[in-house]
Amino acid sequence: MYPKKLNYAIIVLVIYFLSESAYSQLEVGFYSYSCNMAEFIVKDEVRKSYNKNPGIAAGLVRMHFHDCFIRGCDASVLLDSTSSNTAEKDSPANKPSLRGFEVIDNAKAKLEEVCKGIVSCADIIAFAARDSVELAGGLGYDVPAGRRDGKISLVSDTRTELPPPTFNVNQLTQLFARKGLTQEEMVTLSGAHTIGRSHCSAFSSRLYNFSTTSRQDPSLHPSYAAILKSQCPQGNTNPNLVVPMDPSSPGTADVGYYLDILANRGLFTSDQTLLTNTRTARQVNQNARNPYLWSSKFADAMVKMGQIGVLTGNAGEIRTSCRVVNS
């Protein structure tokens, strides 16, 4: 018989290897032999869309985030609603703000022509997000692949698993922790707001209906609030009205987001709240001062986020169309 201490050590090792098994099944260059043009084909489709509309980069990064935070990175965000089920993409958190579905569709169609049934939709999203970061001026990074596609997409999941723009720093920290991400990674990934845009409805309460004692959020710089009010008039109902997340460089993946927060120009409550905690405020300052450090940390955090709850091996499936489960 093994001594008790040895038994305990074996149990610890078994738990460790089980917890690491999903991660170890993802690997850089996963399609090197089965479909060696896979990443090139995805990048080509992303680049073509980006050249027509640079804003698509922000949409694809956000799509990856919204996919991974619900049921893991399994392309559940791509599934269409059916007569019996409303899918994630049709939730208020995703519609009409989530965009880039046609880029994924185009890449999948090309991949099915040359490598039928090989490349998962979940991997396509992960590749497309990486390519978007790079095209927007961020650091490129290797994407471990081998994800499989899930078969479930529920609108109800979006209500509890995605952070709304009203969250405070404690709520953000707790939600990211549930996904296995640290507080620092939360601050780092929030920097994705350096690119993209927002609908007025996501922050208008900060301008017109903040609290019973203050109509306007006092943490919002008055001149910035005035600009936002001119862009988003009170009572406006135009669903197409949007403003840039980072006005100084809305199409570039840089540290302008953190500089905005330090100047009390964070667009969302969930942005400006990063200054209300000593540790997160220190990270905001550090990122603002060191663009390369943030870019490097962001790349690492994207790789880690891309491994949340992945399906590998024989789990899930490789969808023929990213919008529907296989028949």
Active site (catalytic) residues? 66
- Give the Cα separation of 171 and 176 in Å (integer): 9
Structure tokens at 314: 């024989």
Question: Buried (b) or exposed (e) across 52-73, using 16+ Cβ within 10 A?
Answer: eebbbbbbbbbbbbbbbbbbbb
| Residues 283 and 261 sit within 8 Å (Cβ to Cβ) | no
Closest CA to 321 of 108, 164, 77: 108
DSSP string covering 227-261, please? HHHHHS-TT---TT-EEESSTTSTTS-STHHHHHH
Question: Buried (b) or exposed (e) across 194-229, using 16+ Cβ within 10 A?
Answer: bbbbbbbebbbbbbeebeeeeebbeebeeebbeebe
252 C-beta neighbours (distance < 10 Å), count: 16
Backbone angles phi, psi at 197, to 5 degrees: -145, 170
Query: Does residue 247 have a cis bond before it (omega within 30 degrees)?
Result: no
- Give the Cα separation of 125 and 63 in Å (integer): 7
Q: Please give the angle made by the CA atoms of 267, 268 and 269, to the nearest 5 degrees.
A: 130
Distance set, CA 58 to CA 38, 70, 194, 327 (Å)? 22, 19, 9, 32
Q: How does DSSP classify residue 79?
A: P
